[in-house]
Amino acid sequence: MSYSNHILQSLDPAAGEAKIFTILQAVNDPEVPVLSVIDLGIIRDIKDLGESVEITITPTYSGCPAMDVISMNIRLALISHGYKNVIIKQVLSPAWTTDWMTEEGKQKLKKYGIAPPNPKQQVCNQDLFAPDEAVQCPHCNSYHTHRISEFGSTACKALYQCDDCREPFDYFKCH
Amino acid sequence: MPNQSTNQLINYLLSNGDNALIIGHRNSEWCGHGPVLEQDIAITNISLDLIGQARNFYQYAASLIGNDSNEDKLAYLREAIEFKNCLLVELPRGDWGFTVLRQFFFSAYQFYLYQQLQQNKDEQLAAITAKSIKEVTYHLRWSSEWVIRLGDGTEESHSRIVKALDELWSYTSELFLPAPYEEKMGIDISGIKDKWIQKVNEVLCEATLTAPSPKNEHTGGKQGRHTEHLNELLKDLQYLQRTYPGMEW
């Protein structure tokens, strides 16, 4: 079960929290606009306290500049649905991992031309000059790809190129 | 008014935040000047991670300091003498060899330090470092590979990194000389030092380099005694808030 489903099941539909969940499904990451904050797995908790709404989020990378914009977008989305007092809390622990990204999110990424993250157990080693992770080309599905740079256009991505169709592409790094 | 043990924790958080901010700023100076586009992006991504880590340390410190302290005031409105970073991180960026070797020394230190801190009994400190160590792992691998690439590369790259090694080495011992506020944090500094030395020797050996024999050791940064380079860096980093107090984007 994905992390977001886990959150969804913990919500009390009667308290209107499930409705907030649906609203958040339409709040997108400004850097990767096909992904919602739910797809990303950064929503930790939703509390409808009657007078106020409390959303707990967790950052992807420590320095991700999108987090402030994401908080603001969540606030604006809820306000536009009539919620008045929106409190956004940030927690760091447990640390975010790409394993919390939804399956749907991974599919959306691929369709958008970004290779989705591999499952975590495949990577995160410290070996120097380790062989490149086997990343599937989001355009032609070939596994004949190589890494151009471990760091890409944002902190969460690496740059790859396909050896078959020759297209360069972003890979959403396993983290 | 925070009590003594809270004060100690605040100083400890500031010293970790200052290390991350200052080396992050130094690396950010490469923006637009990296040797190739991909590495320009890599070093600035590393900056971003480090500045993000600094923010987490500062936010936590500010919440303990209370009053109207905040992360921006801590970064932009303290004098050099109040900064608690080690001297290693404030040295000018030098050439690419100097930058990647300094990053390697620092990332290896952060890695073994955070390995311990993520178990710390202070939950927020543990949370910040558990999150950061995932990023530091990337930095360590990237910088190790560059040290090897340059050391075991061409005559030119080898001679440049030998020079960097000679200059940087005498700044590394400060990492393992605890300041008073570090002593009661429950960290095994000599354990970190042993692992650091082992890692550094491994990578230097692979890079066909040898650690110089210890000469003069440069210390004092953790107590606020800095080189003139920090002042020059802060002039740049703090310029906007000093010139237009309270300015926001």
Question: Does residue B175 sit within a domain?
Answer: yes
Render pLDDT for B190-239 as a digit per residue (tens, 0 to 9): 999 999 999 999 999 999 999 998 778 999 999 999 999 999 999 999 99
* Residue count (chain A): 175
Number of domains forming the structure of chain B = 1
Whether B140 maps to a domain, the answer reads yes
Task: Give domain status of residue B248, yes or no.
Answer: no
Residues in A whose CB is inside 8 Å of some CB of B read: 59, 61-65, 91-96, 124, 126-129, 148-153, 155, 159, 175
Closest by Cβ to A63, choosing from B41, B49, B140: B49
Q: Work out the minimum CA distance from A121 to partner chain B, whole angstroms.
A: 14
Q: Which amino acid is at B220?
A: G
Residue A99, pLDDT above cutoff 60: yes
**Alpha carbon distance A69, B48 (integer Å):** 16
CA-to-CA dists, residue B80 to B15, B65, B238, B239, angstroms: 12, 19, 11, 13
Q: Which residues of A touch B123 (CB under 8 A)?
A: 93
Domain assignment of residue B249, yes or no: no
Q: Residue A14 — very low, low, confident or very high, per pLDDT cuts 50/70/90?
A: low
Task: Specify the CATH class of A3-98 in words.
Answer: alpha beta
Are A89 and A74 a contacting pair, CB within 8 Å? no
- Is residue B221 included in any domain, yes or no? yes
Q: Which whole number is the average pLDDT over A12-22?
A: 81
Cα separation, B246 vs A36, in Å, equals 33
Domain at B229, CATH number:
1.20.1260.10
Whether residue A62 has pLDDT greater than 80: yes
Banded model confidence at residue A1, pLDDT cuts 50, 70, 90: very low
Instruction: Report the distance separating Cα A7 and Cα A4, nearest Å.
Output: 5
Please count the other Cβ atoms lying within 10 Å of the Cβ belonging to residue B35.
Answer: 11
Range of the domain at B158: 4-243
The answer to whether the complex's ipTM is over 0.95 is no
Q: Which of A9-13, A20-24, A27-31, B228-232 has the lowest mean pLDDT?
A: A9-13
Chain B residues within 8 A of A152 when measuring between CB atoms: 41
Residue whose C-alpha is closest to residue B175's, from B7, B11, B15: B15
pLDDT at A11: 73
Shortest distance, CA B215 to any CA of chain A (angstroms): 30
The answer to whether the Cβ–Cβ distance between A95 and B128 falls below 8 Å is no
Name every chain A residue with its beta carbon within 8 A of the beta carbon of B130.
Answer: 92-95
pLDDT given at position B2: 73
- Long-range contacts, B71-80 (Cβ 8 Å, 24+): B72/B241, B74/B14, B74/B17, B75/B21, B75/B237, B75/B238, B76/B237, B76/B238, B76/B240, B76/B241, B76/B242, B77/B238, B77/B241, B77/B242, B80/B224, B80/B226, B80/B230, B80/B231, B80/B234
CB B158 within 8 A of CB B150: yes
Minimal Cβ distance to B140: which of A63, A91, A126: A126
pLDDT tens per residue, range B46-84: 999 999 999 999 999 999 999 999 999 999 999 999 999
Query: What angle in degrees, to the nearest 10, is found between the helix axes of B228-237 and B4-28?
Result: 80
Average pLDDT, whole number, for chain B? 96
**pLDDT mean over A138-159:** 90
Give yes or no for residue A152 having a pLDDT over 90: no
Of A38-42, A153-157, B23-27, least confident by mean pLDDT is A153-157
Locate CATH 3.30.300.130 in chain A: 3-98
Could you tell me if residue B136 is inside a domain? yes
